[in-house]
Structures are given as C-alpha cells and as structure tokens.
Chains A and B, each alone.
Chain A
C-alpha cells in the first residue's frame, strides 16, 4: 500500500492523508494507490501541508503502518519520550515502531 504524509503547515505535526482530509493518526491513513501523485499535487497547491510525499506502507490488523523506520517514528513520536507521543498513556503504543 502507499501512504501520503507531510507536516502540517501551522504546527509542523506529522499528518496523514485519510482519503478526504488530513489526520494526525496513522490509523486513519488511506491507501492512495495510483492516485497518490495527483492528490499530492492538489494538496501542495492547497498549501495546508508542508512537503507532502508518498511512502510505502503495509496493512496490519491494527491499521496501516509505514514500511520504513523513519516514518514509523514519525507516525508515533520520539521513541525516547513515550510521554510526548500521540499515545502517552499506552505503554505498548510503540511496540510496532522499532
């Protein structure tokens, strides 16, 4: 699967294309398939997200996951500060990242 990601213009936070909008949560990400480049071009024009790009991902029972470690870290937050990730209350939230 292919995922479209970038950083939110105002906050810089990592964001994922859901098929209709952007979300901070990787679980909401949609497979952009062959339409990725067109969505990317349109979203670059909309100027809501910085430097969007397409990455390889994989479907899992828990939702889509980026294939590369860098984007897995992006998806949740720094591995050394679980308190600053998107799921600070869940100690197992990062089990899939590394």
Chain B
C-alpha cells in the first residue's frame, strides 16, 4: 500500500490547518455561508437533510486496518456509530457537527487519509478494481497507476475549477469491476506486443444524460499516461460548458464535438503537453509501484477448503473469488443483510473487518463501488475462521451479485438532492426475495436504485434499475431494464409508467418471473433481456 511521503504529509497537514481556521471564522460569524460553502465542499463537508455530511476519500478503495479502525473511531466518537460506504469507494458520515470537522480531519491525517476533492468541480477520488493485486484475470496491478493519477490530480492548479466534477477509473483486467466506461475517463491497462499501455475511454457517465465512454485511444504507452490524461482534461477545461450545469460534463462536450474531433484536439494538445515533461521519471514511478508489491503469499498453501459446514459452503460459493495465487482467495463481505441499509456498517462491524484484514489479509481491505468490503488476500485455510467472525458480526450474508446485493444511494432519507427514498425500496425488495434459494435460482442480477436523476445509485447501469422521482409531491419509481456497468456495458431502458413503493416491488417480481419463464440454459437476466427485448417484460409488468 502507498505510504505518504513528506510532501503528502505536508500538503494534508496544511489543508487541515487552513480548514480549521475557516471553520473557526464561520462559527464566529466572520464569513457567510455563501463564502464558506465552497471551502467546506473542497474538504468533503456537505450540508444534507439532517446534518452536515462528511465524505472521506479512500483512494482506489484501498485501505489498511489502521485506517479502517480510524473510520470506526470517527463513527463512534463524532457520528452516530455507523458509516455509509459509497459507490465512489468512499465512506460518508451523516451526522457530523461543524465544530468537530477540524478534529476529524486531524484524526484522518494521522492515518494518511483526508476528505480533499471528495466534492467540487475537480478530479475526484480515483476509483479502481476492488480485486486489484489479487484478481486472477488482471494483467498487472492497476493501483500504482491510480496512485500516480491521485498525486497528479491532487491540488492540480489547472484542474481545481473544472466546468464540472470529474471522475477517473483505472482497471487492468478484461472483466470490468469498476464501471470503467461510465467514468469521465476510464483507463484500462492493456497489453500489446508484449508492452503494457493505457486504453483511454473518455466521456462516459451516468446522471441526467447517461453515456458510455467511447474509445479515444487504444494504446498510450504508460510512460505517456499522465501527459495524455492532461491533454484530455485540457481540451475539456478549455471547451467544456460553464454556462449550463446540465451540459457541463465532458460527456456532453464529446457528444457535441464527436469523438473523432475530440480525439484530434487531444492528440494535438498531447504533442504540446508531452514537451512539458510532466510524466514522472521511471525511478519515481518505480518508487510508487514498489509500495504495491504483492504480499508474501505462499503458493504452496493448501488449496482445499473444508466445506463440511453447509452454511459456510454456501457463503464460499457466493462470496469468495479465485485469487491469482494458489491456496488463497478473495473474500467479499456483503454489506447488504436482508432488510438492512445497503452500504451501512456500524463502528463495531468496521472494527471487525479491520481486525480480519490485519489478521488474515496482509493488512489490506478494499471498498467496492457496489458498497461492499473486500479482504483481498486470504489463505483458503483461514476462510472458515474469517466466515465465523463475519457471521458473528452479521457480515456473512451470502448474496454477492444476487438480487439482494443492491446498490442504493442514501436517497430522500438523508440527501438534500433526492426526490424519493431509495433505502426503503431496497429493503422491501431484499425482503421479498429473501429466500436464498430463490435468489440463487435468479443468478447474477444487479439491481441499482437512485433517489434522483443524479444517479449516485447507478440505476442506469443496473440489470434492473430504479429511479425515484417526485410526482406532485409523492414518491414515484421508474423501472429500467438491461443496463450494465461491467465489460458488457449498456444503459437501461425505461419500462413505462412508474410505480409507488410497493408497486415497484411487485413489478420487479413480475419481471423476474418472466425471466425465469423465458431464459435459456446459462442465460443471466440481462442476457435474456438482450435476446428477447423489452416487449415480453413490458407485457408482464403492465399486462
């Protein structure tokens, strides 16, 4: 894992001191809310429905047990004993007091964390594959490149006031576990003629106008990656619209220019940028990469798993994935208990996960964009002990990628932008489908719920997506089918008129019944939808 150097420490400490002073002045009435708002947002502090909300960055979703314990400590000391893991691989606290914010940022800094650039029109937290460094299908660990991008984008003077927020994802496997093509820039590390390079997909995103990022460059030598990213941003910063917030994202610019013209301008800019020498010398990259060296895993460790406990075996089948090193496994901890709040974890649960990460996963944990937690490097021989500890803490729900593994934004229960509640809908769906046998019969089914058009719950990318809207002061839910955030990326299509809270749960049951009656051997829900189209599902829903 990356460890701060003296520059990182100095930058974060200076920001904490600066923001502490700004908070003091705000509480003393020396500055107005209009003056203070952009300052607090730069430090991840929002004002939501019930209180201030602090969003803490977890770079590319990677953290160690010390950092995880600090997240539990903050929940316990300053919040209401829980945190909410988000679709940006971050964590949010919902009940923060303004006067506590400086102390929280100091605590975070003590474990090399912060909340910088988790809001505002800047480059946000770089996201990545939660299985990075462990996945059997990756060609390299993408995190050194994500870290390089993090350093480049932190306090970047030219990109601190972009037309709109900007999100970057980096992956290095063909299986896309990071919704890479639904980012402003999605980078896939690829191999060509024995060399690794970066494929740049630019102009994707969800929100009001969802778009899948087109391929802008199929192979950028990794030695040029920062320069190429800089060129992409420069063209956007120069021509992206600032007059209309709904047309300000880079996806709109590329849609209006056309991918070919955008590419031409980027290539032209790249020639200039490359001459500036912003790409790091190899020695500096090697210094960063060294910190992501694989842990010392014993490839001769036993590869067998004792499956004599049936509950354990069910969990292994659903939540444990193959590791690149024999005798080891990737453990996926579901934060989606039936009837629970997707992504929420109590301080005690966060501590349990931290302890397991320290004891069994070489001190590493990951936050996933699906609002779950990963222990990336667990010996198969330790899986039973890990499962027992998780089960005792209410963290062993065996539902990864099943219909109850729902992504849901905080919705109108917490968020000031939301039009409808997301969490109660997720709870009702998970309860309706609580029978695990029924869920497994349905197979992989990614259900995603957003409480407003900003799409923090990724509803456009759900095999089944739900969008909450406000219809004359009451909550209404639009259903969409056929989306995907994975390597088979697609955007969902709205089924028709919306439903009330109970009606949308009934509609989903009719959709899944139709799927079971229609599928062919081996077809996932989204495969069947793509084969037969909307019509049979629409008929099942509306008659």
Residue in B50, B52, B98 whose beta carbon sits within 8 Å of that of A78 in the complex: B50
Q: Name A residues whose Cβ lies closer than 8 Å to a Cβ of B.
A: 7, 9-14, 47, 50-51, 67-70, 73-74, 77-81, 84
Contact (Cβ within 8 A) A67 B473: yes
Contact (Cβ within 8 A) B341 A80: yes
Known contacts A10-B97, A12-B52; is-contact A50 B47 (Cβ 8 Å): yes
* Secondary structure of the A contact surface, majority rule: loop
Return the chain B residue nearest A86 by Cβ: B50
Write 22 A-B pairs (CB below 8 A) sorted by A numbering: A7-B47, A7-B51, A10-B27, A11-B52, A12-B51, A12-B96, A12-B97, A14-B49, A47-B32, A47-B33, A50-B47, A67-B473, A69-B475, A70-B49, A70-B412, A70-B418, A73-B49, A77-B50, A78-B423, A80-B413, A80-B427, A84-B95
For the complex, is B443 an interface residue (Cβ under 8 Å from A)?
no
Contact (Cβ within 8 A) B50 A10: no
For the complex, is B80 an interface residue (Cβ under 8 Å from A)?
yes
Inter-chain contacts of B27 with A (CB < 8 A)? 9-10
For the complex, is B414 an interface residue (Cβ under 8 Å from A)?
yes
Contact (Cβ within 8 A) B47 A69: no
Inter-chain contacts of A11 with B (CB < 8 A)? 51-52, 97-98
Interface residues of B in 414-428 (CB under 8 A from A): 414, 418, 421, 423-424, 427
For the complex, is B522 an interface residue (Cβ under 8 Å from A)?
no
Contact (Cβ within 8 A) A12 B50: yes
* Secondary structure of the B contact surface, majority rule: mixed
For the complex, is B474 an interface residue (Cβ under 8 Å from A)?
yes
Contact (Cβ within 8 A) B33 A51: yes
For the complex with contacts A7-B51, A78-B423, 18 further pairs of A-B residues with Cβ separation under 8 Å are: A7-B47, A11-B52, A11-B97, A12-B47, A12-B51, A14-B50, A47-B29, A50-B33, A51-B47, A68-B473, A74-B49, A77-B50, A79-B421, A80-B413, A80-B424, A80-B427, A81-B413, A84-B80
Return the chain B residue nearest A70 by Cβ: B412
Inter-chain contacts of B475 with A (CB < 8 A)? 69
A81 CA to B33 CA, complexed, in Å:
29
Inter-chain contacts of B261 with A (CB < 8 A)? none
A50 CA to B414 CA, complexed, in Å:
17
Inter-chain contacts of B99 with A (CB < 8 A)? 10
Contact (Cβ within 8 A) B50 A80: no
Inter-chain contacts of A84 with B (CB < 8 A)? 80, 95
Inter-chain contacts of A9 with B (CB < 8 A)? 26-27, 98
Inter-chain contacts of B49 with A (CB < 8 A)? 14, 70, 73-74
Cβ contacts B53-87/A at 8 Å (1 or 0 each): 00000000000000000000000000010000000
A11 CA to B48 CA, complexed, in Å:
11
Known contacts A7-B51, A74-B50; is-contact A69 B97 (Cβ 8 Å): no
Interface residues of B in 378-430 (CB under 8 A from A): 412-414, 418, 421, 423-424, 427
Inter-chain contacts of A80 with B (CB < 8 A)? 341, 413, 421, 423-424, 427
Q: Give the one of B33, B48, B95, B470 with max A CB within 10 A.
A: B33
Contact (Cβ within 8 A) A13 B51: yes
Interface residues of B in 91-118 (CB under 8 A from A): 95-99
Return the chain A residue nearest B99 by Cβ: A10
Contact (Cβ within 8 A) B412 A69: yes
Known contacts A12-B51, A74-B49, A80-B423; is-contact A69 B98 (Cβ 8 Å): no
Return the chain B residue nearest A47 by Cβ: B29
Inter-chain contacts of B32 with A (CB < 8 A)? 47
Inter-chain contacts of B423 with A (CB < 8 A)? 78, 80
Residue in A10, A47, A69, A79 whose beta carbon sits within 8 Å of that of B473 in the complex: A69
